[in-house]
Amino acid sequence: MPPLSHRTVVDLPTPALRGARPAPLTAQHVPEALATGPITRLVDRHGRTVRDLRLSVTDRCNLRCTYCMPAQGLQWLPTPDLLTVAELARLARLAVEHLGVERVRLTGGEPLLRRDLEEVVAAVAGLRTRSGAPVDVGLTTNGLGLDKRAAGLREAGLGRVNISLDSLDPVEYAAVTRRDRLDDVLRGIAAAQEVGLSPVKINAVAVAGALEERAPRLLAQCLRSGWQLRFIEHMPLGPRETWRPQEVVGRDEVLRVLERAGFELAEIGRPDRRPATLWRVAAGEGAYGAYPGGSVGIISSVTAPFCSDCDRTRVTADGRLMTCLFSSRETDLRAPMRQGASDEEIMRIWAQATWGKPLAHGTDEPWHAPDGFERPSRTMSAIGG
């Protein structure tokens, strides 16, 4: 990870602390309502409204996935730089109770590496949206250690879980993650199901190589086990040398591989504007045995992006707001909190930053596939999934 001085960090002053209103993030005119009026939602210049908060609790990870980070790992954030449970809970409360957020996903790094994760979950799960509904609380994890903590997380209020699993072959899994831990992940998945975390979604990055064998086998097993499989196109969020646009395995290729393996697919679409486009899978039997009907999803951020209706906002483990996954601009929320900023001041900073959200993939230029990405200085593990 590059040092902080290599990133564009926007430090917005707050009235109580420095005697001036927060400065706008862009040269674009910020509506008067964002400067002086009440803050009731997070909306950007392109008409998109935030409903989903990705809240990272750590940048540390116990795997070294080839598409995510170098073999030697990264320089982790010092513990004092991480948001505390109280700070994470405060941001979640402001987002859910005041700013219209309906879903909170806790991410990392690997969030299970935080010993106080159950406290974070309990604080978030106790929130109610402005409509009075319980907030939807999820967790993205690699599954290592989940078998030991699934019950406690469920008791704390966790509703669902996404688990990274790129292959069911132990040798291939070890090659991708640089760790021989497949059995541990499978135990974690089983524990999640046993305690009632639902749905259990499996995230698999679609990379060139063994896709012809890997994807059908993984889908058949997910259908049999009741897991919801999502293939994710490889995005430029790991070490720079690991991503080339011409090597991206796109949605169409994933579908061709599955259909050649005998799966009968029918497109469903994107329910609730979630990132994955879903296909209904008919029950059948193939090289990897019989399987019931179900669904499979593809998150095609590269070949068919969904920026036009993106409803997400992200906060990194050290309290930097990123309005776009690919943005090179970050807004500091941690410093104002630690300097005594009021809830209203924090929400105004958040709202002004959201107003400046890029149009697509970190830029305000119309997107052009597949190389129209602004490359963020942080890798995915340091941003939060």
Paired with 136 in beta bridges are 103
Closest CA to 103 of 70, 127, 79, 81: 127
Give the Cα separation of 303 and 183 in Å (integer).
Answer: 33
Please say if the pLDDT value at position 29 is more than 80.
no
Number of H helices, E strands in the chain: 12, 15
**Above pLDDT 70, what percent of the chain?**
83
| Other CB atoms within 10 Å distance of the CB of residue 170 | 12
| Cβ-contact 71, 64 below 8 angstroms | yes
Average pLDDT, integer, range 343-366: 85
The predicted-structure confidence for 315-331, as pLDDT tens digits, reads as follows 999 999 999 887 878 99
Average pLDDT, integer, range 342-352: 96
| Other CB atoms within 10 Å distance of the CB of residue 65 | 19
Q: Is the dihedral of CA 161, 323, 348, 78 positive or negative?
A: positive
pLDDT, averaged across the chain? 87
Answer with the residue of higher pLDDT: 369 or 136: 136
Paired with 296 in beta bridges are 229, 279
- How many whole angstroms from its chain centre is CA 35? 29
What's the pLDDT at 197?
98
Tokens standing for residue 360: 């697509």
For residue 35, the 8-state DSSP code is H
| Other CB atoms within 10 Å distance of the CB of residue 166 | 25
The predicted-structure confidence for 270-307, as pLDDT tens digits, reads as follows 987 789 999 999 999 999 999 999 999 999 888 878 88
Report the range of poorest mean pLDDT among 33-42, 56-65, 316-325, 332-341.
Answer: 33-42
- Band of residue 21 on the pLDDT scale cut at 50, 70, 90: very low
SS3 88: helix
Alpha carbons within 13 angstroms on the beta-carbon side of residue 14 total 23
SS3 262: coil
Average pLDDT, integer, range 7-20: 34
Please say if the pLDDT value at position 8 is more than 50.
no
Locate all alpha helices (DSSP H) within the chain, ordered by sequence. Answer: 15-18, 32-35, 85-93, 117-125, 146-156, 170-177, 182-195, 211-225, 251-260, 334-338, 343-355, 380-383
Amino acid identity at 101: V
- Band of residue 50 on the pLDDT scale cut at 50, 70, 90: very high
Answer with the residue of higher pLDDT: 208 or 107: 107
Alpha carbons within 13 angstroms on the beta-carbon side of residue 269 total 3
Answer with the residue of higher pLDDT: 234 or 184: 184
Widest CA span in the chain: 68
Report the range of poorest mean pLDDT among 29-38, 74-83, 129-138, 153-162.
Answer: 29-38
- Band of residue 353 on the pLDDT scale cut at 50, 70, 90: very high
Answer with the residue of higher pLDDT: 6 or 200: 200
Amino acid identity at 40: T
Helices 117-125, 146-156: crossing angle, 10 deg rounding: 30
| Cβ-contact 238, 67 below 8 angstroms | yes
Residue 49: what are its φ and ψ, rounded to 5°? -115, 135
- Band of residue 55 on the pLDDT scale cut at 50, 70, 90: very high
Query: What predicted TM-score, i.e. pTM, was given to this entire model?
Result: 0.87
Answer with the residue of higher pLDDT: 36 or 203: 203
Give the Cα separation of 1 and 24 in Å (integer).
Answer: 28
DSSP one-letter string for 113-178: G-TTHHHHHHHHHT-B-TTSPBPEEEEEE--TTHHHHHHHHHHHT--EEEEE---SSHHHHHHHHS
Give the Cα separation of 14 and 35 in Å (integer).
Answer: 11
Residue 268: what are its φ and ψ, rounded to 5°? -100, -45
Average pLDDT, integer, range 218-224: 98
Radius of gyration of the chain (CA): 21
Please say if the pLDDT value at position 360 is more than 80.
no
Average pLDDT, integer, range 254-272: 95
- Band of residue 363 on the pLDDT scale cut at 50, 70, 90: low
Please say if the pLDDT value at position 366 is more than 80.
no
- How many whole angstroms from its chain centre is CA 323? 12
Amino acid identity at 312: R
- Band of residue 241 on the pLDDT scale cut at 50, 70, 90: low
Give the Cα separation of 348 and 42 in Å (integer).
Answer: 9
